């Protein structure tokens, strides 16, 4: 799996973290002061990259978490059929089918950017 370990204190808004075995983009990050019998705690709020579910994570700032390595790639639209588009990766020339996001209007020969992690893909 393309991921690495980091301490919670190294996370930043806009970066990625694994929550509930799903890659999430961090929307909010806050820390609480250390208490009498413990260390400082961090609260991380994020949204799933591929499923759009909202998730939260509360851990000590020195705890280790997994950070997914989500790749941003370029592709070209080969054809559009209903809600699906056939995309060709501009680096490997591999073709695959992806769901067109709501509000997007794609046509053949358009160049797009997409995110990829462990075989999951999403047009951005």
Tens digits of residue pLDDT in 31-59: 988 877 778 899 999 999 999 999 999 99
pLDDT at 95 over 70: yes
Is residue 79 exposed (0-12), middle (13-18) or buried (19+ Cβ within 10 Å)? middle
Class of domain 71-123: mainly beta
Report d(CA 21, CA 32) in Å as an integer: 25
The whole-number pLDDT of residue 35 equals 76
Contact 94, 88 (CB under 8 A): yes
Q: Is the entire prediction scored with pTM above 0.85?
A: no
What is the H or E stretch that residue 56 is in?
A: strand 54-60
The CATH code of the domain at 3-68 is: 2.30.30.30
81: which 2 tokens?
Answer: 């059929």
Domain residue spans of the chain: 3-68, 71-123
- Residue 1: which pLDDT band, with cuts at 50, 70 and 90? low
Contact 47, 26 (CB under 8 A): no
């Amino acid at each position: 799996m393309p991921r690495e370990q980091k301490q919670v204190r190294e996370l930043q808004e806009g970066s990625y973290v694994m929550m509930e075995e799903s890659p999430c983009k961090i929307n909010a990050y806050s820390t609480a002061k250390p208490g009498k019998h413990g260390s400082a705690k961090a609260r991380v709020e994020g949204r799933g990259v591929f499923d759009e579910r909202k998730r939260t994570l509360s851990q000590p700032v020195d705890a280790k978490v997994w950070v997914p390595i989500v790749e941003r790639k370029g592709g070209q639209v080969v054809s559009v059929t209903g809600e699906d588009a056939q995309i060709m990766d501009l680096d490997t020339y591999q073709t695959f089918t992806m769901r067109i996001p709501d509000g997007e209007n794609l046509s053949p020969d358009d160049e797009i950017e997409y995110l990829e992690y462990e075989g999951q893909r999403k047009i951005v």
